[in-house]
């Protein structure tokens, strides 16, 4: 259900707003952020700030605006955490 969208245009059930389980609204933000900032065979990774901008464009349509506001409320700390996690995941994937 993390593919549901705040405006009801998601799937699998087309849920809207607070009818979407809270856990799914939170996971949706994490999932999209990860997808945007990860390199895929078909696309390059977006930068941290470009991903945030894209997500903010979806505030109130794709994402629960309050949860997105919490996610982006401390961009300095979020960016630091993002870089720590990315560097650890690169170390793990190259070290195996």
pTM: 0.86
Residue 36 lies in a domain: yes
Residue 6 lies in a domain: no
Residue 7 lies in a domain: no
Residue 4 lies in a domain: no
42 or 94, greater pLDDT: 42
**Residue 77, φ and ψ in degrees, nearest 5:** -65, -40
| Position 87 confidence tier, pLDDT thresholds 50, 70, 90 | confident
Residue 10 lies in a domain: no
pLDDT at 86 over 90: no
Provide the number of structural domains found in the chain. 1
User: Distance from CA of residue 90 to its chain's centroid?
Assistant: 19
| Position 56 confidence tier, pLDDT thresholds 50, 70, 90 | very high
Helices and strands, counts by H and E, the chain: 4, 0
* Alpha carbons 41 and 63: distance in angstroms, whole number: 26
Domain that holds residue 77: 17-95
């Amino acid at each position: 259900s993390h593919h549901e969208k705040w405006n009801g245009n998601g799937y699998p059930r087309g849920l809207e707003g607070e009818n979407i389980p809270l856990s799914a609204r939170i996971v949706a933000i994490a999932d999209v952020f990860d997808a945007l900032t990860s390199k895929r065979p078909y696309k390059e990774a977006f930068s941290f700030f470009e991903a945030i901008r894209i997500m903010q464009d979806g505030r109130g349509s794709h994402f629960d605006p309050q949860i997105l506001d919490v996610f982006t409320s401390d961009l300095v700390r979020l960016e630091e955490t993002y870089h720590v996690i990315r560097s650890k995941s690169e170390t793990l994937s190259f070290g195996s």
